[in-house]
Copies of this chain bind each other. A is one copy, B any other.
Amino acid sequence: MPVIQGVRLATCAAGIRYPGRIDLLFALFDPGTEVAGVLTQSKTASAPVEWCRRHLAHGQARALVVNSGNSNAFTGSKGRETVRVTAQAAAAAAGCLEADVYIASTGVIGEPLDPDKITARLPALARDAQDDAFEPAARAIMTTDTFPKLATCEARIDGVTVTINGMAKGAGMIAPDMATMLGFIFTDAAIEAEALSALVTPTADATFNAVTIDGDTSTSDTLLVFTTGHAASRGAPRIARGDDPRLADFRTALLEVMRDLALQIVKDGEGATKFVAIRVTGAESDAAARTIARSIANSPLVKTAFAGEDPNWGRIVMAVGKAGEAADRDKLAIWFGDIAVARDGEVAPTYRETQGAAYMKNAELAVRVDVGVGAGEATVWTCDLTHGYVSINADYRS
């Protein structure tokens, strides 16, 4: 991973849940760094999510503290106090305001998180932080992820090259931990928080919000994008509006980094053996297409069929039907890859079950469904539902 000028990172094993496991990340940003983000829609959001929601409003950032092992969710007033004390210590260590500190936690829910384990380590981490520590940082935020998730891309803004680095942790869940998606993106581009926010929200919709492992939503999902602005010293313009045409290439690169991370999350889904792209076309609107695609992607019957390499397109019809969005049953068409499976509301005359069965042997599957009522379209990425998922989530107790 390349360096992002203005970003320094440090990690350590703070003993939050398991002794000896790297579980704390402290990221420090040069003055002038701006931030935008997307946070969980959960009605039972964690204390760190509430903190970030409040401070994203002013768009300034100087530090980010992330711990794994304990999500500090459903921890009442104690949880809020832990966040406050952590922000205070991080501000002291980074030499900034508390309001410029962002916090994310992932791990067990409902257990008090002792802030001392974190605050005691922050001064040393601030001192030791390096600009080339993205790989250990991506490891520090993992819970049951089987590999660290990193992506990088360059973009040109008005002729000046900027770099975008990203890291994420996925929907690895192990009892009693939670599925939590954390994503942190860093760039040296000079983009003001409001413009950045206008970029990030639709990009998150098309990437992190378009993947689903099991339809469950964490109390802690957090995506934060930090821009240090150092590229301005190399002549990059300072961008104040999200619709500035000079952002075209950056927008594409940001989408690329976030999609790359989102797909890594799906591929590391618990127990997953298949990676499946579900594309819905012909819906009343893009939102309707998204709803239908999610209904297919989250259906246990569809997901177990993928696991069993069963070309069970009847279950896809069922999932379209239960989505509640307009669909013309008598125009419905389904493809597995390039194979036309159903059209005009019945099995395609050319389709043979042996074709579908052979296609299902692939590790990466593409399902397309046209529901025949409009021009709305959406893609959602998911994985299969396997014995491995049940084992990870049912068989083992913490």
Contacts and interface: CB of A to CB of B under 8 A. Distances in A.
A322 interface: yes
A304 B173 CA distance: 11
Given A300-B393, A308-B394, A329-B43, A317 B73 contact: yes
Contact of A78 (B300, B307, B346): B346
Given A43-B327, A45-B329, A315 B176 contact: yes
A338 interface: no
Contact of A386 (B322, B323, B394): B394
B76 A321 contact: no
Interface in A23-75: 40-45, 73-75
A326 B318 CA distance: 30
Minimum-distance CB pairs A-B, first 5: A109-B314, A44-B321, A42-B321, A308-B394, A217-B322
Given A74-B329, A74-B342, A305 B385 contact: no
A318 B110 contact: no
A110 B342 CA distance: 9
A286 to B, nearest CB: 18
Interface in A313-355: 313-315, 317-327, 329-330, 332, 342, 344-347
A153 interface: no
A160 interface: no
A204 interface: no
A43 B321 contact: yes
B45 A301 contact: no
Interface string A150-194: 000000000000000000000001011011000000000000000
> What is the copy number of this chain in the assembly?
2
Contact of A305 (B43, B175, B329, B357): B175
A111 interface: yes
A183 to B, nearest CB: 18
A386 B387 CA distance: 8
A307 B43 CA distance: 26
A106 interface: no
A394 B111 CA distance: 36
30 contacts: A43-B321, A43-B323, A44-B318, A44-B321, A74-B317, A74-B342, A76-B330, A76-B344, A76-B345, A109-B314, A110-B342, A173-B301, A176-B310, A176-B314, A178-B315, A179-B318, A214-B299, A214-B300, A215-B299, A216-B300, A216-B319, A217-B318, A300-B385, A304-B390, A307-B390, A307-B394, A308-B394, A385-B390, A387-B390, A390-B390
A329 to B, nearest CB: 5
Given A176-B312, A307-B390, 12 more contacts: A41-B322, A43-B320, A43-B324, A43-B329, A74-B314, A76-B344, A176-B305, A215-B300, A300-B389, A305-B394, A308-B395, A308-B397
B76 A346 contact: yes
A317 B219 contact: yes
